[in-house]
């Protein structure tokens, strides 16, 4: 489970590391000195032109340009979703929703206009819709979390089963030692007759007889109790 999770995380690593700082108009550069701000603006503008060209080529059916465009906007959308307050667990869902929408209405982009506002408008709308759906779902559903259980192990929440198993264990303790050992090896530890014979040093035949007798006497004890209650 953990290994799988780590693998998925690692699978995303190249994206995160390569595009750690997506910067377009929405990413403010106010903390930077004026010169570098201008530089960042120019870079963002250059990227916008790149994306615009890629989208224009995608519209005419160039798959490679389209794949590159989607790969480049995905980390940008991730940053946008995080900024809008989407929870970490939902970010990939939101990003995929935006990518699917971009795909569905890619014919509404006009290459004569900048690409950024088009993308940001779609992303904002889809992210807002997603947040709204999430709020609605939270309002009518209560997630079942570990706190709702008294103990983590499922058996611990079945009180009767707990009492029954203790009574059974008590009765097993009362059996003669040969029968008890046979029962433990064959039924509780579920070993084969051969293994049990090797562990206990008894013959297969005598183990069979002992476990049969143990089962019979337990059945008798519990049948009697069942009649009494």
Q: What does each C-alpha distance from 199 to 155, 175, 196 come to in angstroms?
A: 30, 19, 5
64 binds another protein (CB under 8 A): yes
Q: How far apart are CA 207 and CA 178, in angstroms?
A: 8
User: Which of 44, 74, 80, 182 touches another protein by CB under 8 A?
Assistant: 74
16 binds another protein (CB under 8 A): no
The answer to whether 101 touches 122, Cβ cutoff 8 Å, is yes
Q: State the minimum distance, in angstroms, from the CB of residue 136 to another protein.
A: 15
- Contact set for another protein, span 116-175 (CB under 8 A): 117-118, 121-122, 125-126
Q: State the minimum distance, in angstroms, from the CB of residue 103 to another protein.
A: 5
Q: How far apart are CA 122 and CA 107, in angstroms?
A: 13
* Residue where the block lists tokens 């008894």: 202
Q: State the minimum distance, in angstroms, from the CB of residue 44 to another protein.
A: 16
| Binding characters for another protein, 91-110, by CB under 8 A (x = yes) | -xx-xx--xxx-xxxxxxxx
Q: State the minimum distance, in angstroms, from the CB of residue 120 to another protein.
A: 8
Indicate the residue among 60 and 150 with the shorter CB distance to another protein.
60
Determine how many CB atoms are found less than 10 A away from the CB of residue 122: 21
Q: What does each C-alpha distance from 152 to 2, 143, 164 come to in angstroms?
A: 19, 16, 20
Q: How far apart are CA 69 and CA 51, in angstroms?
A: 6
87 binds another protein (CB under 8 A): no
Q: State the minimum distance, in angstroms, from the CB of residue 150 to another protein.
A: 32
Q: State the minimum distance, in angstroms, from the CB of residue 116 to another protein.
A: 9
Q: How far apart are CA 92 and CA 135, in angstroms?
A: 18
Q: How far apart are CA 217 and CA 223, in angstroms?
A: 10
Residues that bind another protein (CB under 8 A): 8, 11-12, 15, 58-64, 66-67, 70-71, 74, 92-93, 95-96, 99-101, 103-110, 113-114, 117-118, 121-122, 125-126
């Amino acid at each position: 489970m953990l290994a799988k999770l780590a693998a998925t995380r690692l699978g995303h690593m190249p994206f995160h590391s390569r595009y750690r700082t997506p910067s377009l108009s929405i990413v403010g550069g106010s903390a930077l000195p004026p010169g570098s701000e201008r530089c960042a603006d120019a870079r963002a503008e250059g990227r916008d032109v790149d994306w615009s060209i890629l989208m224009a080529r995608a519209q005419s059916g160039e798959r490679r340009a389209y794949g590159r465009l989607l790969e480049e906007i995905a980390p940008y959308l991730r940053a946008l979703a995080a900024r809008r307050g989407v929870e970490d667990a939902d970010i990939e869902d939101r990003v995929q929703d935006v990518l699917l929408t971009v795909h569905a209405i890619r014919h509404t982009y006009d290459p004569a206009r900048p690409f950024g506002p088009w993308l940001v408008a779609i992303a904002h709308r889809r992210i807002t819709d997603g947040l709204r759906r999430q709020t609605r779902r939270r309002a009518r559903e209560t997630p079942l979390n570990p706190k709702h259980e008294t103990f983590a192990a499922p058996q611990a929440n079945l009180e009767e089963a707990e009492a029954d198993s203790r009574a059974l264990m008590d009765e097993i303790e009362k059996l003669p030692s040969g029968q008890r050992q046979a029962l433990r090896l064959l039924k509780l530890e579920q070993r084969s007759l051969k293994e049990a014979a090797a562990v206990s040093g008894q013959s297969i035949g005598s183990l069979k007889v002992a476990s049969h007798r143990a089962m019979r006497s337990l059945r008798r004890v519990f049948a009697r109790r069942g009649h009494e209650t």
